[in-house]
Amino acid sequence: MLPFDISLYSSACQTKQDKNEKFYLSDFTMDLTPLLGTTFECECGKSHHIPTRYLHYGENALVKLAEVTAELSSGKNCLLIADTRTWEAAGEKVFQLLESAGVDVTGFILEDRDGESPVADDITKEDLLRRAPQADIYLAVGSGVINDLVKWVSYLRKKPYFTIPTAASMNGYGSANVAATVDGLKVLFHADACQALFAVPTIINNAPEELTASGLGDVLAKSVSSADWKLNKILFDDYYCQYSVDLLKDLEPVYLNNPGGVRRKDPEALKALFEALLYSSIAMTITGTSSPASGGEHLISHTLDMIANRDGRSHDFHGRQVGVGSILCAALYEKVLELDKPVFRALPTTINSGFWGSLSPVVEGEYGKKLERVVEVATFIEDPAKWQTLREDIQPGLVAASQLKNCLAKAGGAHCYQQIRANGQPLSRKDFINVVINANQMRSRFTILDLAMLTGVLPDQLEEVVDTWLTR
Ligand SMILES: [Zn+2]
Ligand SMILES: [Zn+2]
């Protein structure tokens, strides 16, 4: 239950055009708008609920934010959380607008730690819980890290939060999941999605180019992550929702076919990218799983993060790593689906503790769950009819590795392993290869990394894939 009256919230959000609706439809041209705040039945067999009630993408979004917050927060207080960069990009302006609208608002700037920008981990969360004042409504002004931290803290304090994105850099804005590092392991856990999102195109467009290209990398993962999800449906009869996979269908061509537009900050391209990131996060929320947007490519990024955190080193942006991982996974799919008569090769029965080091105990638990299921895959790989059906089912949803690479290269994103920064240095070929062949161990979820191993594409063809697709 929300601590404020949602009918009040709804009335604040109504316009002349949609007086009878329970929510306000902004100038954000979303197909989903009639569904905001509602529950609807889906062909997948689940009732889907979109908890976010208000989405506004437009130059006057902050004015709307002030109006809505002023009405909602009567007699309540708000806490705005930003880091030093996002305070400068938008936080201060939001704070002033809210103050002048009569909102009882406090600003909290999360400082850098040891010269590095804040990270979403349990240490920072504890620090926030200790130092951030209590509030009735929380406002996250920032991108991935701030959004995750505020989502986490407001959830623990059982209060709603609004998000004010400062970059089209990742797909967590509409998601109920928190992506964070806990005890060294990169985990995803359930919290509450934002109640409202206010995005200003000029602010999003002013974000560093690298952050936008990072968002593109995150959203491009969709073709491989959806294929991974479908793979789990085919192999293990797991839950799968075609509706949520199709949410991005109309937006995808806008940035996929016009990556130069993302680099030039063409408003239509950036809007499509932002919307796609949002749809992607909503897909995760309504299905209750990260599967629509996270497959083998994410395991590569998570592994890079975990190894860096273990060693006290910095890692690159999530979306830059995911983009490179997506090209790799698309190429692995191509190699695997080319096989006419694959031969089943069992996975190692234990994790590579030499690679994981002190992380081994947590990784072992995940890998153990995977091994129990993998046995079933042998029948698909060795039965020609089943294998043929699998190939035909998976193929149509995939985007070619060449197209993903071309898109990222033209948009200014990372598309080679050397462009990934590990502690500020280019990632080495040896380290990249080690990450690829061990990443499947850190999550129980079955992905193309596993299928490539079970068919021998990994490690046999890895060098060739890296030389063809991921080397400058
Ligand atoms: Zn569904
Ligand atoms: Zn992601």
Same domain, 139 and 231: no
Task: Say how many C-beta atoms besides its own lie within 10 A of residue 463's C-beta.
Answer: 11
Within-domain flag for 257: no
Q: Which residues of the chain have pLDDT under 70?
A: 1-33
Same domain, 160 and 185: yes
Give the three-state DSSP class for 451: helix
User: Ligand 2 centroid to 319 CA: how many Å?
Assistant: 6
Q: Which of 207, 230, 248 is the last residue of a domain?
A: 207
Same domain, 299 and 172: no
Same domain, 118 and 194: yes
Dist CA 230 CA 394 (whole Å): 7
User: Which residues hold their Cβ within 5 A of ligand 1, which is an ion?
Assistant: 42, 44, 241, 243
Same domain, 188 and 299: no
Same domain, 149 and 227: no
Q: What is the pLDDT of residue 13?
A: 34
Q: How far is CA 244 from CA 48, 207, 257, 416, in A?
A: 10, 28, 22, 30
User: Ligand 1 centroid to 45 CA: how many Å?
Assistant: 7
Within-domain flag for 170: yes
User: Ligand 2 centroid to 315 CA: how many Å?
Assistant: 15
User: Ligand 2 centroid to 14 CA: how many Å?
Assistant: 33
**b/e burial code for range 244-275 (CB count within 10 A of at least 16 → b):** bbebbeebbebbbebbebbbeebeebbbbbbb
Within-domain flag for 270: no
Same domain, 228 and 201: no
User: Ligand 2 centroid to 323 CA: how many Å?
Assistant: 9
Nearest ligand to the CA atom of 220: 2
User: Ligand 1 centroid to 430 CA: how many Å?
Assistant: 41
Question: pTM here?
Answer: 0.87
Within-domain flag for 62: yes
Q: What is the pLDDT of residue 7?
A: 30
User: Ligand 1 centroid to 269 CA: how many Å?
Assistant: 27
Q: What is the pLDDT of residue 85?
A: 96
Nearest ligand to the CA atom of 172: 2
Give the three-state DSSP class for 77: strand
Select from 212, 106, 110, 125 the least CA-distant residue to 166: 212
User: Ligand 2 centroid to 37 CA: how many Å?
Assistant: 24
β-pairing, 425-426 with 421-422?
A: antiparallel
Q: What is the CATH number of the domain that holds 405?
A: 1.20.1090
Q: Which of 207, 231, 255 is the last residue of a domain?
A: 207
Select from 325, 335, 281 the least CA-distant residue to 302: 325
Q: What is the pLDDT of residue 5?
A: 28
Q: What is the pLDDT of residue 32?
A: 63
Same domain, 226 and 134: no
Within-domain flag for 285: no
pLDDT tens-digit readout, 45-73: 999 999 988 888 889 899 989 888 887 77
Same domain, 145 and 233: no
Q: What is the CATH number of the domain that holds 148?
A: 3.40.50.1970
Q: What is the pLDDT of residue 28?
A: 44
Within-domain flag for 199: yes
User: Ligand 2 centroid to 458 CA: how many Å?
Assistant: 23
User: Ligand 1 centroid to 152 CA: how many Å?
Assistant: 26
Within-domain flag for 283: no
Same domain, 108 and 202: yes
pLDDT tens-digit readout, 397-418: 999 999 999 999 999 999 999 9
Q: Which of 183, 207, 231 is the last residue of a domain?
A: 207
Number of domains in the chain: 2
Could you list the residue range(s) of the whole structural domain that residue 184 is in? 6-207
Same domain, 113 and 21: yes
Nearest ligand to the CA atom of 245: 1
Same domain, 189 and 313: no
Q: What is the pLDDT of residue 252?
A: 86
Within-domain flag for 73: yes
